[in-house]
C-alpha cells in the first residue's frame, strides 16, 4: 500500500493523473535557485528551451552564458566559472553532456573538485522519435564511476525542482539526469526529500520482493506494485533518486525485509543503478535480483510508451520480473 508518510499525489493511480516533463522541474528549480543565490550561473550548448534553462537565461541575462554546440567547452568553461566562486549549472542532452564531454568533466570538474552541476536532459529511450543516437543510456554508469561526482535521478518534475535547489546548496560536482517526456507526477511539494536518502513509497506487511527504481520508472513500479497486490503478491517500492552516494541503509533494509529485489531504470543494465545496488548487496546482504533496464543495446525511433514496452521496462515487464525473482 501507499506509504502515507510520503504524501504522494492522491490522484497517482487515476487514469487522468497529471503528467509533466521532469525537465520542467529543473527549469523552475534553477530559476528559484537564481533568485535565492546570485552566485548561480547558467551555461547551455544551444538547447536553452528544450533543457528548460530559458526562463533563467531571460531573467538573469548577465548570469547566462551561451556556449553554442560545443559540449566539451560547456564543461571546461563551467569549471573556470566555478573557480572564481560561482555555482554554474550546465545543461544539454545527456548524450552530449556527460556523453561527449566525459574527459572534460573528469579532469576539469572532478579532479579539480569544482562546484559544477551537470544537467543531462532527454535521457532514456523515452526521448522517442529522435531515435537511438539521442537516447542516453550510459550516463549513470559513466558519471557514477567518477570520484567526487554525485548522481541524482529525480522521479518527476516536483522532485526535479527539489533536486535542483538541493544541488545549488551542496558544494561539489553533481550530475542530475532528466527525461524529456511528460511523466506522471508521483510526489507532491509536501513529500519528504533529502539528498542521498531514498524514499520508501510503497509498503507491505509481508513483502516477497523489493522494487528499487529511479526516474520515470518509479511510476511504472508503483503501478506494478498495485497490480501485484491485487494478485496477492506483496512488494516494496523504493525511490532511489540518489544513486551516488547510495543510501546503503535503505536498500539493505529492503533486501532484509523482502529477501528478493528487482531494480528498474531507464538505462543500460551494465553499470547503472541496478549495478550500484548489486555492489551494495554483494558486500552487505546478497539476495536474488532481477534487472529492469536496457540489455546492452541501442534504442530506436518510436513513441515513448512503445519503446518502454519494447525494451522491457513497462509495467508488465516489471510484474514479470517480480514473479521471476519470486520463483528463484
Partner 1 sequence: MPHLHDNKIEKLEEKANMIRESIIEMLVEAGSGHTAGPLGMADVFAAFYFHILKHDPKNSSWPERDRLVMSNGHICPVLYATMAHAGYFPLDELKTLRKFGSRLQGHPHREYMPWLENSSGPLGLGLAQAVGMALGLRVDGKESSGQYVYAFLSDGEQECGLTWEAAMLAGKNKLHNLIALIDRNNIQIDGFTEDVMPLEPLADKWRAFNWHVLEIDGHDFEEIVSAVEEAKAIFEKPTVIILHNIPGKGVSFAEKHFEWHGKPPNKEEGKIALDELRTLGGKIISEHQ
Active site residues: 71
Total residues binding partner 1 (CB under 8 A):
28
Q: Does 115 interact with partner 1 (rule: CB under 8 A)? A: no
Give the nearest distance from C-beta 149 to partner 1 in angstroms. Answer: 15
Q: Binding to partner 1 by residue 268, rule CB under 8 A?
A: no
Q: Which is nearer to partner 1, 100 or 257 (CB)?
A: 100
Closer residue to partner 1 in complex, CB, 70/270: 70
Distances in Å between the Cα of 12 and the Cα atoms of 31, 117, 167, 327 are 27, 30, 27, 30
Any contact of residue 84 with partner 1 (CB under 8 A)?
yes
Among 68, 192, 245, 286, binds partner 1 (CB under 8 A): 68
* Contact assessment for residue 278 and residue 249, using Cβ atoms and an 8 Å cutoff: no
Site mask for partner 1 (CB under 8 A), range 38-67, x = bound? ---x--------------------xx-x-x
Sign for the CA dihedral angle at 73, 180, 170, 143 comes to: negative
Nearest 5°: CA angle at 155, between 233 and 312?
55
What region does 27 belong to: left with phi over 0, alpha with psi -120 to 50, or beta? alpha
Q: Which of 3, 32, 50, 112 binds partner 1 (CB under 8 A)?
A: 112
The owner of cell 573538485 is: 113
Residue 149 in the binding site for partner 1 (CB under 8 A): no
Nearer residue to partner 1 within complex by CB, 119 or 276: 119
CA-based Rg of the chain, rounded to a whole angstrom?
A: 19
Among 3, 50, 113, 300, contact with partner 1 (rule: CB under 8 A): 113
* Residue (92 or 317) nearer to partner 1, CB: 92
Q: Does 83 sit near partner 1 (CB under 8 A)?
A: yes
In the structure grid, which three cell numbers stand for residue 118, read together? 551537470
Q: Is 85 in the site for partner 1 (CB under 8 A)?
A: yes
Closest listed residue to residue 80, CA positions, set 104, 103, 101: 104
Report angle CA 154, 155, 157 to the nearest 5 degrees: 80
CA gap 287, 147 in Å, rounded: 27
Q: Does 147 bind partner 1 (CB under 8 A)?
A: no
Residue 123's SS3 state is: strand
Report the residue from 23, 86, 117, 260 that binds partner 1 according to the rule CB under 8 A.
86
Restricted to residues 169-228, the positions that interact with partner 1 (CB under 8 A) are: none
The residue count for the chain:
328
Site for partner 1, rule CB under 8 A? 41, 62-63, 65, 67-68, 70, 72-73, 76-86, 88, 103-104, 107-108, 111-113
Amino acid at each position: 500500500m501507499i506509504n502515507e508518510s510520503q504524501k504522494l499525489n492522491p490522484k497517482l493511480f487515476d487514469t487522468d493523473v497529471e503528467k509533466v516533463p521532469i525537465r520542467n522541474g529543473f527549469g523552475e528549480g534553477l530559476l528559484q535557485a537564481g533568485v535565492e543565490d546570485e552566485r548561480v550561473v547558467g551555461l547551455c550548448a544551444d538547447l536553452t528551451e528544450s533543457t528548460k534553462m530559458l526562463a533563467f537565461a531571460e531573467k538573469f541575462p548577465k548570469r547566462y552564458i551561451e556556449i553554442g554546440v560545443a559540449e566539451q567547452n560547456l564543461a571546461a568553461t563551467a569549471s573556470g566559472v566555478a573557480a572564481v566562486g560561482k555555482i554554474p549549472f550546465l545543461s544539454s542532452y545527456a548524450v552530449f553532456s556527460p556523453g561527449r564531454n566525459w574527459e572534460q568533466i573528469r579532469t576539469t570538474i572532478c579532479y579539480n573538485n569544482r562546484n559544477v552541476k551537470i544537467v543531462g536532459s532527454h535521457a532514456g529511450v523515452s526521448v522517442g522519435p529522435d531515435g537511438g543516437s539521442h537516447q542516453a543510456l550510459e550516463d549513470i554508469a559513466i558519471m557514477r564511476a567518477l570520484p567526487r561526482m554525485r548522481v541524482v535521478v529525480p522521479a518527476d518534475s516536483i522532485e526535479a525542482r527539489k533536486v535542483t535547489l538541493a544541488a545549488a546548496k551542496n558544494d561539489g560536482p553533481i550530475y542530475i539526469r532528466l527525461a524529456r517526456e511528460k511523466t506522471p507526477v508521483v510526489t507532491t511539494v509536501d513529500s519528504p526529500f533529502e539528498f542521498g536518502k531514498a524514499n520508501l513509497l510503497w509498503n507491505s506487511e509481508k513483502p516477497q520482493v523489493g522494487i528499487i527504481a529511479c526516474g520515470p520508472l518509479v511510476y511504472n513500479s508503483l503501478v506494478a506494485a498495485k497490480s501485484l497486490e491485487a494478485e496477492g503478491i506483496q512488494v516494496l517500492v523504493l525511490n532511489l533518486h540518489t544513486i551516488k552516494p547510495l543510501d546503503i541503509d535503505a536498500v539493505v533494509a529492503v533486501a532484509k525485509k523482502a529477501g528478493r529485489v528487482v531494480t528498474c531504470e531507464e538505462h543500460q543494465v551494465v553499470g547503472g543503478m541496478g549495478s550500484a545496488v548489486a555492489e551494495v548487496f554483494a558486500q552487505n546482504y546478497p539476495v536474488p535480483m532481477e534487472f529492469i533496464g536496457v540489455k546492452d543495446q541501442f534504442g530506436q525511433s518510436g513513441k515513448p510508451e512503445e519503446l518502454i514496452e519494447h525494451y522491457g521496462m513497462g509495467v508488465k515487464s516489471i510484474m514479470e520480473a517480480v514473479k521471476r525473482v519470486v520463483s528463484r
